[in-house]
Amino acid sequence: MWITRVLSSIIFLTYTVVSIPLGFDVGGRACGLAFSLSLASFYFFYSVLRLLTPSRSRFRWLLVKTIATTQWIILPSLLIWSLNRFSVDPTESRGWVERTFSGKRATDTSLSQWILGPDGLAETVTVGVWDKFLTWSTPVFQLSEGFCSLLVIQAAGQVTRWLVNRSGKSDSWMIGLLVMSASIISSSVYFLWRVTQFPQISNVDATLIGMTITCAVFLCAWGIGSGKGNPVESSLLFAYIVLCIYQIFTDYQPSNPIEPPPPSEAADFPPFPPIIMASYTTLLQALSTLPSAIHATFNFIIAALSTITPSVIISLAYRLFVLYASTRIIPAVRESGARALSQEPSLEDTDGANQILGVLSWFSPSILIAVYTSLLMQHFATTSNGDNGDWWVSQGGDVGNNLWRWINVAGTMALYALELNLSKEDLDSGVTGHWKSD
């Protein structure tokens, strides 16, 4: 049933979002990487099993159902195993090659212990390769986000153009879309003003921001004035550029620590009526009588949620949205029109691009884990410049920079400018070219 699949997806997303940063926070960098690798490997082999076995095979049905049912036991077991096996001393700063071939390995009594034992060759090589893969994949994920965002922006522009020019209520649509575009631009300007208030903005940063915003305004005006774009498309492009700038210069946290308010004097009257205060006191007494296991579980959930950074969650949600939307938009632009927006990519498609998208959809859980872990590592590397990020550098992590984010901003605007230069003022193209209208 689709309800079961939706609930399973929600539980998987919640567990992934909570458990991976918990592994980094509790066990350290090596533990977080090992747990992320074990999760990605588990879902990779699960996807390979579903892909290679016949769809109508009873063995496939039994094996897939067994794994899908027991995964809720396997996933916490992987977290516990990672915390027990890979938790390291926070002062450990050597690389995996040095840890494997150092003089301390001379205490190993056998070859199998040197290869399969704690900090052995197999353990350090797998985690080290996964670390390098995620590090070198960060530019790919960043540039893919910009490309997919541009696809979504252009698809939204084509859909809104079709609504205005081909629907019976064109005036109403035009007014509503203009109001929406103005709201998007106003919100973007507000967050851009927030960026200018950050104390860490240097002269070079201010120059880059000014050049970026000038180019974005010029592109938006060019698209609207030439008729090759529209207000919705331009406002979304401007909002994405501001989002990238906001991600570069802030971690969605207040720039100055919030001082606690001074204790207020006792009020002459209770804040609520006596019946509500009595019910509140009774509820607290009832909760205090619960078993200690429930209190421990509640405290564990609170501690796990406190390790999640809002910036990473917002970036993950946006990146997943544009990546998923692009898998629907690319087939629609290539051949199928609007019908492809409601179809999942499949390996049975004759087009090579659609087959690649079908393969990516099969391995989407592993891709999600890799993207999320990459965002977490990028966040830890960026915050390592402050006082709270020393633990990341001390465990072999790199100090982050925002070079690829700036390259993504410049590449997105350059690609949009190239699209405006090469495109023609054609209203019946792309996604809406296959739509019928009376």
Are 86 and 27 in contact, with CB atoms under 8 Å apart? yes
Give me the pLDDT at residue 184, please.
Answer: 94
Are 226 and 420 in contact, with CB atoms under 8 Å apart? yes
Closest CA to 355 of 368, 345, 341: 345
Calpha distance 155→333 (Å, rounded): 9
Give me the pLDDT at residue 397, please.
Answer: 54
Task: Retrieve residue 200's tokens.
Answer: 């860490």
Are 371 and 324 in contact, with CB atoms under 8 Å apart? no
Calpha distance 284→298 (Å, rounded): 15
Are 244 and 408 in contact, with CB atoms under 8 Å apart? yes
Predicted confidence pLDDT, tens digits, the chain (438 residues): 567 777 777 888 888 888 888 888 888 888 889 999 999 999 999 888 888 877 777 877 888 888 878 888 888 899 888 888 876 554 444 554 455 444 454 555 566 666 665 566 677 788 888 988 998 888 899 999 999 999 889 888 888 888 887 766 778 888 999 999 999 999 999 999 988 887 778 888 889 999 999 999 999 999 998 888 889 999 999 999 999 998 888 755 544 444 555 555 544 445 556 666 666 677 667 666 666 666 666 676 676 667 677 778 888 889 888 888 877 776 665 554 444 444 555 555 555 556 677 777 788 889 989 999 988 888 777 665 554 445 555 555 555 567 888 999 999 999 999 988 887 655 444 445 544 444
Give me the pLDDT at residue 112, please.
Answer: 64
Look up tokens 């296959």; give the residue: 434
Decide: pTM greater than 0.85. Answer: no
Calpha distance 227→423 (Å, rounded): 10
What is the secondary structure of 70-137 as a DSSP string? HHHHHHHHHHHHHHHHH---TT----HHHHHHSGGGGG-SSHHHHHHSTT-HHHHHHHHHHHHHHHHH
Closest CA to 372 of 19, 8, 7: 19
